[in-house]
Amino acid sequence: MSPIPEVSEPAAIDPADPVPSEPPEPEAATDDPRAPSALRHSLRFRVTTSFLVAGLILGLVYAGVVGIYLHDMEDQVAINLLRLEAEHFEKEMATNPSATLPNTRLLRGFLVDPAKGETTADLPAPFDEWAGDRGPGEHELFTPDMHIKIHPLENGSLLYLYHFVGEIEPLDKSYLTEILLVGLVLVVLLNGWAGFLLARRVLAPIVNLADQVGRTDPDAMPVHLTGPFYRDEVGALAQALQRAMNRIAEFIDRERRFTRDASHELRTPVTVIKGAAELVRHRAELGQPIQAPLRRIERAVLDMENIIVTFLYLGREGTVQHRVAAEAETDATAVVPVVENLMGANRYLLEEKEVEARLEVIEGFAVAAPEPVISIAIGNLFRNACQYTDRGMVRVCIHPGRVDIIDTGRGMNREAQKAAPRPKEMGFGLGLSIVEDFCGRHGWCLEIESEPGKGTRATLIFDDAHQATPAT
């Protein structure tokens, strides 16, 4: 055996030690849509911000393209100007060899005659340095900002033209920058305003849908939530919400029925058990036999088991299509053995009555459904017939694809037959209501024929080719 470890005493707390401060409580979340965090995460804010960013990017790209285009245009204008000046001077030289070279603040011209041994070094400074050893054609300098045109003349001389672009470009660039900045601001503002209006218009159906869902009362779920919406993304969202609302409404209805029916149906067996228990205690004190009250307790427990199994199954969620698809994969269940078992288990309902229970098999068949499902459906009809038949007979007739439960009980009038699937308000038990619910879930059919004072015929039809198959 391993030794028990010693438990050390807790260390003493020094009063001088600082007391650790408690962590601050998190701020309560707010549902106010005007709160900064809510506004920052709203779809309208996101759409408007996206349009602003898109406008900014678009404006910057446009300004860059315009700037590059205008710069190329300026270069092309300067090149054309120098070409025209060179052609004009060449024509002047043809008629007047002593034509004057251009000499202005923006344009200067020089002649270099290689035949006389002249070179660019003979040009005045700093024109000699700018010309360098460049050949004929157009050239651009950035320091200083100028264009140079070297044009060969017919007499072999070279005409050097210098166009000082830097003298006028600062004014042009400043004006161009102002125009582009104003245009950029206008594009961003217009994009933001367009984004705000578009977001308001596009999100209006979503806001309307959210308002309808927010005003939904659990006791009155909306049934036409998709009515005012088009068949677009918002319409698909409305359809999904409508399906969810329908499922919630069905769940609430199942819960209410379960609570109502279970409390109503369990009251009888609980009362029987309570009375039988008192009788057992009384007879035990007197030394009398207690087998009879024990049998009553056993029957009441069996009734409670049937009620609980039935209500738990009814409380499950699922559509007819889902259940049919699931049950199509299950093995077929023979109906005759199921009926024989449930008739034997419920014969106690007729022990104190002058009623005979009879099974008539015309032709057996099988149903592609679990055995508990078939047992609950037929069992509720059989127990309902036994409970409301005081004398005579309860017959269960099995035909191909259907089961008839015929009794000689009190019967029902036409008003009661119309309300037969309802609960016990009409005085005919929950059996018919439960079977009606089963038929709606599994695609079966329940038919009721009754006459007051003569009895009732309840027919459960399994005529769906996917449900009923001949027994082998």
pLDDT bin (cut points 50, 70, 90) of residue 360 is very high
Do 188 and 87 have their domain in common? yes
* Paired residues of 357 in beta bridges: 394
Residue 335 has a pLDDT of 92
pTM of the shown model: 0.48
How confident is the prediction for the chain on average, in pLDDT?
76
Alpha-carbon distance of 161 to 81, in angstroms, equals 10
Question: Do residue 300 and residue 342 come from a single domain?
Answer: no
**Domain-located, residue 4:** no
* Alpha-carbon span 77 to 85, nearest angstrom: 12
- Do 146 and 210 have their domain in common? yes
Name the pLDDT band for 415 (thresholds 50, 70, 90).
low
Whether 358 and 261 share a structural domain: no
Distance CA 296, CA 313 (A): 26
Whole-number pLDDT of residue 206: 75
Residues 429 and 337 in one domain: yes
Per-residue pLDDT, 330: 57
17 in any annotated domain: no
Q: Which of 248, 282, 314 is the last residue of a domain?
A: 314
pLDDT of residue 375: 84
Rounded average pLDDT over 88-107? 86
Q: Is 254 a domain residue?
A: yes
394, 443: one domain:
yes
The domain total for the chain is 3
Q: Which residue do the tokens 């038919």 mark?
A: 447
Amino acid type, 335: V
Q: Is residue 202 part of a domain?
A: yes
The amino acid at 134: R
Are the C-beta atoms of 30 and 38 separated by less than 8 Å? yes
Give domain status of residue 359, yes or no.
yes
With respect to residue 19, please indicate whether it lies within any of the assigned structural domains.
Answer: no
Can you say how many angstroms the Cα of residue 314 is from the centroid of all Cα atoms in its chain? 28
Instruction: Decide if pLDDT at 435 tops 90.
Output: no
Q: Which of 368, 372, 399 is closest to 465 using CA atoms?
A: 368
Q: Would strands 333-334 and 445-451 be described as parallel, antiparallel, or unpaired? A: unpaired
Q: How confident is the model at residue 318 (pLDDT cuts 50, 70, 90)?
A: low
CA distances from 454 to 3, 238, 378 (A): 84, 52, 21
Residues 238 and 208 in one domain: no
Nearest CA to 437 out of 217, 250, 299, 212 is that of: 250
Q: Do 411 and 271 share a structural domain?
A: no
Give the DSSP letter of residue 350. Answer: G
Say if residue 167 is in the same domain as residue 237: no
Q: Judge if 284 and 154 occupy the same domain.
A: no
pLDDT at 459 over 90: yes
One domain for residues 85 and 203: yes
pLDDT digits 0-9 by tens, 235-275: 777 778 778 888 888 788 777 777 776 776 677 678 878 88
First to last CA, the chain: 66
Is 267 in the same domain as 122?
Answer: no
- Among the three residues 150, 185, 215, which one is the final residue of a domain in this structure? 215
H or E element that contains 312: helix 291-314
Confidence band, pLDDT 50/70/90 cuts, at residue 405: very high
- What pLDDT is attached to residue 18? 46
Query: DSSP label at 136?
Result: S
Beta bridge partners of 431: none
User: Is 20 within a domain?
Assistant: no
**Strand order, beta sheet including 402-407:** 354-361, 391-399, 402-407, 455-461, 445-451
| Structural domain that includes position 79 | 39-215
Burial class (CB in 10 A: 0-12, 13-18, 19+), 169: middle
Distance between CA 88 and CA 403 in Å, rounded? 115
Contact between 117 and 179 under an 8 Å Cβ cutoff? The reply is: no
Q: Which of 264, 290, 314 lies at the terminal end of a domain, its last residue?
A: 314
pLDDT at 417: 55
Domain assignment of residue 111, yes or no: yes
